[in-house]
Amino acid sequence: MVGLPERLDPADDSLPAWTERYLDLAVRGVRSAEVTAKISRHLQRFAAWISGGLGHDRLSAVTPREVSAWRDHLAAAGNRGRDGTPAPMAPTTVNNHLAHLSALFSWITAHAPTGLLRHGDPTKKVAPLPLPLPLPAPQPRALAAAQIRTVKNIVDRIETLHELKGRRHRGTVARAHAHARPLRDRAIIHLLFGTGLRRAELVGLDLDQMEPAEADRLRQAKTARLVGVRGKGRTSRTIFVGRDARHALADYLEQQRPGDAAASTGPAALFLSAVSIAARCPDGRLSARSINTIVGEIGRLHDAQTPDPDRKLGTLRPHDARHTFAFQLSQASGHNRAKLERRLGHANDRYLRLYTNPPDDIAAGYIEDL
């Protein structure tokens, strides 16, 4: 092989071979499975770019020019549109690719035989793409006290709101749509507003994480909790469940969940989709998107029954409940940072401040009092 020192085997000048060594020795088992898959995907894209452009995959042929050209290619056509045509890749995503490639070549530089990378690390002279101006700070979305009261009023009457109406059903025994699970939806709303759970944390809950998990004991217990709740960054925490959520969960576990659980396989998810849904997962577990639908429908019902424009919610999202819980917890705990970190599963100062900002009407009231 031209230009390769005699003591090196041809495989030692192979970009894919060195990439696999790097993944095996420095990434797999060290980084999470999700991050490992992303790093591997990004490095495979670069190897394909080199092989397709040069006609070979020799490591020693990688130069700053090739890395720079790959960066520009990703920025111009690194994605695929819905119709399959090339589409630009966001600058942050391009820079993420470059960072993973730089880590690879830093590792190779430290472990490769002398003379393999004669031109040095080819990523060092390639600048990342300039990032656009930062987005404006996200706004707090906590509900005001009056809105919380009317939302809970809607949730208390959710069974009647789900009843079939119209001339076809007039004079018949009131019944809900076959897919409707009003008791489940009530428990979900109370749990979101009463614990600050993220939607992914909510749908990931299993029945055996609930203590106690029996309907009668939930109604009688003064405290109940969810143990081992898996959050961001592979964290785990215990969450206490308030009275409204305990009673709502007891009604759901007693009256609606058994029928849906009978047709489920695998781990016993706490919240299950209706057995009548054709596209239901085998284990019956709700998707994160279905939580958006449930919460959004509560917001729509709320606004349809609320004549006061100041109480209307617009689009209600699951994270609004998290903001609401965080603000109320901040008020009740005297802005105790340790309490907020433990209950919210979030240690980032920026987001703790965001979650604990008051709703607009309360903030306006502070100014009025001053």
H helix intervals, the chain = 15-22, 33-54, 64-77, 91-111, 145-156, 158-161, 182-195, 199-203, 215-220, 243-255, 257-261, 288-304, 318-332, 337-344, 349-355, 360-369
Give the catalytic positions in this structure: 198, 232, 319, 322, 346, 355
Q: What region, left, alpha or beta, does residue 368 occupy, with left being phi > 0 and alpha being psi -120 to 50 degrees?
A: alpha
More confidently predicted of 47 and 172: 47
Q: Which of 104, 125, 6, 26 is nearest to 59 (CA)?
A: 104
Residue 2: predicted pLDDT: 40
Query: Model confidence at 80, in pLDDT bands (50, 70, 90)?
Result: confident
User: Does pLDDT of 173 surpass 70?
Assistant: no
pLDDT at residue 165 in the model? 56
**% of the chain with per-residue pLDDT over 90:** 52
> Which uninterrupted H or E stretch holds 229?
strand 224-230
Q: For the residues of 72-107, what is the DSSP string, one character each? A: HHHHHHSEE-TTS-EE---HHHHHHHHHHHHHHHHH
What pLDDT was estimated at residue 6? Answer: 46
Q: For residues 327 and 344, what is the distance between their CA atoms, to the nearest angstrom?
A: 11
Return mean pLDDT, the chain. Answer: 86
Match 């109940």 to its residue by tokens.
224
> Which pLDDT belongs to residue 144?
86
pLDDT tens readout for residues 123-161:
998 999 998 766 666 677 888 888 999 999 999 988 887
Give the pLDDT mean for 7-32. 84
- Comparing CA positions, the residue from 341, 137, 131 lying closest to residue 232 is 341
- The neighbour count for residue 276, using CB atoms within 10 Å, is 13
Q: Check pLDDT > 80 for residue 104.
A: yes
Q: Choose the weakest-confidence range: 15-29, 37-51, 162-176.
A: 162-176
- Note the pLDDT tens digit of each residue in 234-284: 788 999 999 999 999 999 999 999 988 887 776 689 999 988 887 788 888
Q: Tens digit of pLDDT for each residue in 295-330?
A: 999 999 999 988 988 889 989 999 999 999 988 888
Among left, alpha and beta (phi > 0; psi -120 to 50; other), residue 120 is: left
Any idea which residue has 């959050």 for tokens? 231
Return the ∠ at Cα 296 (arms to 294 and 301), rounded to 5°. 95
Among 105-109, 160-164, 178-182, the least confident range: 160-164
Find where tokens 């809105």 sit.
147
3 falls in which pLDDT band (50, 70, 90)?
Answer: very low
